Amino acid sequence: MDFTIIKSYFPLFAEAFLLTVKIGWIGIALSFLLGIICAFILYFKIPVASFIVKCYVELFRNTPLLVQFFFIYYGLPAAGIKISAEVCGAIGLGLLGGSYMTESFRSGLEAVPLTQKESAFSLGMSKGVLFTSVILPQAISISVPAVVANIIFLLKETSVFSAISLMDLMFTAKDLIGLYYNTTESLFLLVVFYVVMLLPVSILGSVLEKKSRFKIFGD
Amino acid sequence: MGFEVLLKGKNMIRLLAGLGVALRISLISVIISIILGLIIGMLVSAKKPVISATYRIYLEIVRIMPQLVLLFIVYFRFSKMTGISLSAELASIIVFSFWGTAEMADLVRGALISIPVIQYESSRVLGLNKLQTYVHVIIPQVGRRLAPLSINLITRMIKTTSLVMMIGIVEVLKTGQQIIEANRRSSPHAAFGVFSIIFLLYFLACYPISCLSKYLEKKWEN
């Protein structure tokens, strides 16, 4: 391993890292938003919308992100819809993540026991109060582990960005390997940057899981 | 809209053959992962410190590293390190098995620790020996918890194998690109048709398996 090479590659990887993180987190934010909206639609069983949401969730949970990207980035322009690589990355990740988040939030909402609802009613709570101060807080803590797992999964999926020619970490590594054939150094930096990106999230996630679990089970 | 390309010559059959390549890689990897995952999961549940620590590190590597990065490392680095030239397909089977084994082992461990101690104690009270306890009491319960989750792992494996095109294996996406390239003049909108079909093909491959997993999960719910 040659450290002068690593030093000269570092800025390139740092730039790619920032781009990956930026688009990754925009995508995750989108997936959060989409997940919450869709989970509410499913939970309240809104007639037509909940059928559409079901189709969307099944379609995106059962196809790989790479295929979704190819469809959005290469397929749609042929049908007249053109979007830039960056927007495509964020939207693609948001759509994929949205389907996973919907499932997590929905199962969180449904996991709140019926007795909680009945008890709240017998205490004289209105439907609105029941939902915001009884169901929602419990549903959120139940869905934390699944949401954390989703975030880690989505951050890992960002490695597919290179397929739509976004200059992300994978793209940079592949490019540099192709140009100079310094495989070891490029792969080393690639691994280092992914560890920097994911290890804090993984650790924070475990802490968050323990904290939110504590609140429901009191143990 | 570009769907007419698929009817030309053997294009549709080529796409299906491409999907076959992806499915073959995932099937082999799934089988290896399930076997190794079962063994490792059981070893870890024995709670020996050295095994647990090694397993923890292994799991953390798999959890943090994207499969594509692992694929690059094995495909580009392995041959340089050992002098053995790996075919892309073998490299991807190694990576997916490495990843799948960790996932499977974690599922097995999770299922094993979810069996309450009371089950073991009751079996002993009833006079069952260790082997009988496992065969008649523990394994049936673990199996029911494990089956839906491991079936789910198959769909995840199928979805992940789409990555192999990035190390040059000609599977369904690559074949699709070739078809689009070849027909660029005659049907400029081919990209839409081809990629929609690939999208659909993946869905058709994974959806029944997801449904089976969901069905089993519901059926065996306590």
| CATH number for position A23 | 1.10.3720.10
**CA dist., res. A84 & res. A89, Å (int):** 9
Select from A87, A58, A69, A168 the least CA-distant residue to B162.
A69
CA distances from B158 to A102, A160, B8, B180 (A): 22, 16, 27, 23
Please give the angle made by the CA atoms of A3, A176 and A25, to the nearest 5 degrees.
95
- A156 interfacial to chain B (CB closer than 8 Å): yes
Please say if the pLDDT value at position A212 is more than 80.
no
Q: Is residue A139 a part of any domain in this protein?
A: yes
- A81 interfacial to chain B (CB closer than 8 Å): no
**Hey, what long-range contacts does B108-116 have (CB within 8 A, 24 or more apart)?**
B108/B37, B108/B38, B108/B40, B108/B41, B108/B42, B108/B45, B108/B142, B108/B146, B109/B41, B109/B44, B109/B45, B111/B142, B111/B145, B111/B146, B111/B149, B112/B41, B112/B42, B112/B45, B112/B138, B112/B142, B113/B45, B114/B145, B115/B141, B115/B142
Q: What is the 3-state secondary structure (H, E, C) of B79-141?
A: HHHHCCCCCHHHHHHHHHHHHHHHHHHHHHHHHHHCCCHHHHHHHHHCCCCHHHHHHHHHHHH
Please say if the pLDDT value at position A141 is more than 90.
no
Give how far the C-alpha of residue B127 lies from the chain's centroid of Cα atoms, to the nearest Å. 40
Q: Using pLDDT thresholds of 50, 70 and 90, give the confidence band for residue A213.
A: low
Please say if the pLDDT value at position A217 is more than 70.
no
**What's the pLDDT score for residue A218?**
41
**CA dist., res. B140 & res. B123, Å (int):** 14
Domains, chain B, in order of start with CATH, read 3-219 (1.10.3720.10)
> How close B129 gets to chain A, by Cα (Å)?
34
Q: Using pLDDT thresholds of 50, 70 and 90, give the confidence band for residue A3.
A: confident
Q: A71, A153, A162, A172: best mutation site toward chain B, by most B Cβ within 10 Å?
A: A71
Q: How many domains does chain A have?
A: 1
Q: Is residue A112 a part of any domain in this protein?
A: yes
Contact B207 A163 (CB under 8 A): no
**CA dist., res. B62 & res. A173, Å (int):** 20
Q: Using pLDDT thresholds of 50, 70 and 90, give the confidence band for residue A215.
A: low
**What's the pLDDT score for residue A189?**
92
**CA dist., res. A6 & res. B95, Å (int):** 26
Mean local confidence (pLDDT), A119-124: 90
DSSP assignments along B14-62, one per residue: HHHHHHHHHHHHHHHHHHHHHHHHHHHHHHHHT--HHHHHHHHHHHHHH
Q: Is the dihedral of CA B28, B166, A31, B63 positive or negative?
A: positive
**What's the pLDDT score for residue A104?**
93
Q: Is residue A204 a part of any domain in this protein?
A: no
- Phi then psi for residue A147, to 5 deg, are -65, -40
Q: Within chain A, where are the H helices?
A: 3-43, 47-61, 65-69, 76-78, 85-111, 114-122, 127-129, 136-157, 169-180, 183-217
Yes or no: say if B105 and B40 are a contact pair by the CB < 8 Å rule.
yes
- A76 interfacial to chain B (CB closer than 8 Å): yes
CA distances from B43 to A62, B105, B108 (A): 32, 9, 10
Please say if the pLDDT value at position A160 is more than 60.
yes
Average pLDDT, chain A: 89
**By a Cβ cutoff of 8 Å, what residues of chain B touch chain A?**
1-2, 60, 63-69, 72-73, 76-77, 80, 155, 159-160, 162-163, 165-166, 173, 176, 180, 188-196, 198-199, 202-203, 206-207, 210
Please say if the pLDDT value at position A137 is more than 60.
yes
Q: Is residue A6 a part of any domain in this protein?
A: no
Yes or no: say if B66 and A194 are a contact pair by the CB < 8 Å rule.
yes
Q: Which residue ranges in chain B fall short of pLDDT 70? A: 1, 222
**What's the pLDDT score for residue B185?**
82
CA nearest to A68 within chain B: B199
Q: Is residue A1 a part of any domain in this protein?
A: no
**CA dist., res. A190 & res. B31, Å (int):** 30
> How close A162 gets to chain B, by Cα (Å)?
9
Q: Using pLDDT thresholds of 50, 70 and 90, give the confidence band for residue A219.
A: very low
- A152 interfacial to chain B (CB closer than 8 Å): yes
Yes or no: say if A190 and A13 are a contact pair by the CB < 8 Å rule.
yes
Which residue, chain included where needed, has tokens 């992300």?
A168
**What's the pLDDT score for residue A214?**
52
> How close A68 gets to chain B, by Cα (Å)?
7
**pLDDT tens digit string along A51-108?**
999 999 999 999 999 999 999 998 888 888 888 999 999 999 999 999 999 999 999 9
**What's the pLDDT score for residue B189?**
83
HSE-CB for A206 with a 13 A CA cutoff:
7
Q: List the domain range (segments joined by +) for residue A150.
A: 17-167
Which residue, chain included where needed, has tokens 């049936």?
B140
**What's the pLDDT score for residue A102?**
95
**What's the pLDDT score for residue A133?**
87
The amino acid present at A177, given as its one-letter code, is I
